[in-house]
Amino acid sequence: MKRILWAGKRGRTSFRPFVHVGYSHTWGKNDMHTGRYLCLNNDKWTLNKFANLKNIHLKKNTCTGKVEIFIDDLILLTNGKNVLSFESFDLCFLIKYELLRNREKMDLQKMPVTLTANNLVDFLEGTIPQGRDTHMKGEDKGNYFQEQRALMENKIFENFQNDLILYQNGHPNMLDRVKKGGEESHTIDLPKSLNYVENYNIKNLREEENNVYTKFISIFENIHGVKLRRANHFETPVQDLDVEEKIKNMIKIMNSSGIFLFYKCTQILNSFVFSYLFLHGHMGYKEVYRCCNLEYIYQFFKWGYVYDVHGAKDAGALLALSSLRLVGALLRQEDAVKK
């Protein structure tokens, strides 16, 4: 996380009216000395500000048309020092709600909507990560953004080529068989926040994978009018050229917010098909997480659930998935209103 270096005479520099700088303004050294903004990071000054905040209000910037967030009259910036603002009032309201709920002990990892929004804005603004040249010109930042987008597009397509849904276990093995002796009555007592597997009792892994994967492959094929080739054992399936071109075009025409959210989703699920169905409302976040983790679920059903290990992984993944779906839906809703 970036740290803010505050000058001893903070506050003496006149504050630049933000109405003149616009949405894409990245705050520089002179701005840092004004003390008129608050960055999303974990330094002591910021944590103290959040712990003692009195008011959070939302205000629409008439120049940009975007809703901005003010913490006790300090404008809220991302970790990359971009204004955290969106055209969607509902999204900004949810960020405000998360900030209020977590103000006493702010941890971005436990604030999924705010974290997703922060990372999305920094991506859209071409913010350079720490360790890179932070004094790049606007044109260079635009090039950096295009490079990052192209990288995400390539990674998403690679995810399609190696989609886990195409690798169904075609042969019985020791994982497929449930031991005799009362496994059917065995239950896993998960915390309510992690109990994402309403139907976790998998008696036969091979049959479960075949049934689940076949069902959702068919849904995807019917939506797009394609036929997907599945893997023969563990060899990577080669799809027809027209199918590959259709998928590449689908990725290419995604807007920048959409490409970011889709990429983040594939990183969690390791599946292009399941990510598409989830983000387009064909599955819930608990269902899609279960479908992408059948072997993992089967193993802890068989051998036990380690809360310290599995709990953190599952909680983080579920929070991230729910926020990606929610942010995507709110942004699409705003786009539909504009049209």
What is the pLDDT at residue 99?
92
Q: Which one, of 100, 64, 96, 101, lies nearest residue 83 by Cα?
A: 64
What is the pLDDT at residue 132?
56
Domains of the chain: 18-135 (no CATH), 149-338 (1.10.3580.10)
What is the pLDDT at residue 92?
97
Contact 203, 259 (CB under 8 A): no
In which band, very low, low, confident or very high, does the pLDDT at 191 lie, cut at 50, 70 and 90? low
pLDDT > 70 in the chain, percent: 73
What is the pLDDT at residue 168?
75
What is the pLDDT at residue 185?
42
As a dihedral over the C-alpha atoms of residue 256, residue 317, residue 239, residue 328, rounded to 10 degrees, the angle is: -30
Q: Which two tokens stand for residue 52?
A: 């003692």
Question: Is pLDDT of 258 > 90?
Answer: yes
Contact 49, 38 (CB under 8 A): yes
What CA–CA distance (Å, rounded) separates 216 from 148?
Answer: 30
Question: Is pLDDT of 278 > 70?
Answer: yes
What is the pLDDT at residue 130?
60
What is the pLDDT at residue 142?
74
Give the tens place of pLDDT for each residue, 83-115: 999 999 999 999 999 999 988 888 888 899 999
What is the pLDDT at residue 42?
74
What is the pLDDT at residue 43?
78
User: What is the pLDDT of the chain when averaged over all its residues?
Assistant: 80
